[in-house]
Structure 1
Amino acid sequence: MKFADWMSAVQDRTETALAALLPPADALPGRLHDAMRYAVLGGGKRVRPLLCHAAGAVFDAPAAELDRAACAVELIHAYSLVHDDLPCMDDDTLRRGKPTVHVEYDEATALLVGDALQSLAFQALTEDGAPSCQSRLSMLALLAQAAGSRGMAGGQAIDLAAVGQALTLEELEQMHIHKTGALIRASVLLGAHCGHADEDAQKRLAHFANRIGLLFQVVDDILDAEANTATLGKTAGKDAAQNKPTYVSLLGIRQAKALAGELRDEALAALAPFTGRGERLAGLTRYIVERTF
């Protein structure tokens, strides 16, 4: 299957799996369930599920198990976006080309949507079709750490505290290793767990994921600086307007693009031991860069 066809197939099956996992909009409480579906379905490139499936493909992991893991990580990501857009955080009104959840519904509903999506993510890893008991425990621990104070939530806290501050490149990397990179790393390792990857393979994939996590953020900063709102589907230039440190504000566009190229090459090099089995992961690495410049 060609890479573009594979991507489309994984995106479609993820959408189907998410739609089945989310409570129906007509089930009580209807407004909350409707808002949950609004936040998750019909938008996004599903990069994290793609990474999960691509990592699982290295070890011939069963597709049904990968679907559960992919849904879990995407639900955590969706919850983080809903909360990130709230007035007390980034205060944004546009996400994936449509009004943010607190604009379309209200702030209290948006808060509950995030809470409910986070809970549903962990439920997804415990239901039928998930891996064996020991694997489930390992995957639950992995996702919990990636989402918590030592991962995504902690990175967001550092980001909020860094507004108006002059960070070094190392400090900026540490922030994004937590804020963006932790969930991307979890996506890759959850897929590997579904394929029962050994410890050495997991270490190699963790290194790959660390590189691609930073790459994703560098590219995101470049997109935010160069693209317009219609292209992004969210408010362009928001970080600069809020005086947040970014790779572009620290390095400039040219050096940020050069850094993206270096991170791409490092990520691809980390896949070398997997020979042809890592081609889907390699394709995603190139895709993250080529969607921008």
Structure 2
Amino acid sequence: MLEALYVCRLATAEHLRLLVTPTTASSRYVRAELGKLARAGLVNAVQLRGRTRTKVWFLTRAGAAAAEASPAITARPHRMSAALAAGPLQFHALAVADVLMTLHAYRHASVLDCQVEVSHGQGNAQDPTGSSSRSMVITDAVIRPQPSAVEGGVPPVLFVELDRATTSSHRLADKLHAYDRYRQHRHAASRASSPSSWQTRYPSSEYTFPPVLVVITGPPERAGRRMDLVWNQLKQARRGLLSGLDSGEVAVAGVSHAVLLSHLARPGGLTAPIWTPLNPHAPATPVTLPNLHAAARPPKRT
């Protein structure tokens, strides 16, 4: 549980039940184990905002140090605190945990093969815009599906953006364009012919940039309206310049958080046709992840 909390940053006992005892309906065992870890000073908890009887768990500094002793963990400097856990990021982090723990429980991906709040394109960059700071994008979650899913056509790396519709659709569209800047990003010392930063960091993706998947919380109808707004923003932002979103080199799709969790709990859920392409040329018809890059490309001229 320490490793999973390290990855997710925040989780409820129900999240951890999906990890530890996914075939049982009760989280009693998990709560007892969390109590032992709390008495050992490795975890702490705050109340879920608006629900006083539900606790949100996180690692203490000692717990983070213990998790980092595991070879499965890549250490990072960030540490959670009670103030951060109880603050505005709580719902966002728990919605990300919903996705990661459900992927793990139904064997689509191991939570230990996932990362959250991942910085991309930072440092000295050769950016077409001439600005290294603009090339940086922080991805809410990077997911590496199980080999069996990859063999079935699912991309080996998925970039996930968790959207709670708390900011404008324009701001979300800007972040999606930042992925195209990252696609073109090279470190300053690299030759122009050198692989892009993402190809070095994610060699399993070979020549296909990982798809960007926008998971939108709230009722599915609201998620659909949000996708329409973002699609229009991306279409209007072209201004005659061909970008990776126009060409389909950066495939972007959206899905309702509730719809995604429902399908992940079924066999073959990761390959269900639930992803609505958001690229400017793409049709509004939902597609599967294996077909997403093809749907994102402009139609061929005849």
For the criterion TM > 0.5, the same-fold answer is no
Higher relative contact order (CA 8 A, sep 6+): 1
More helix, by proportion: 1
Bigger CA radius of gyration: 2
Normalising by structure 2, we get a TM-score of 0.29
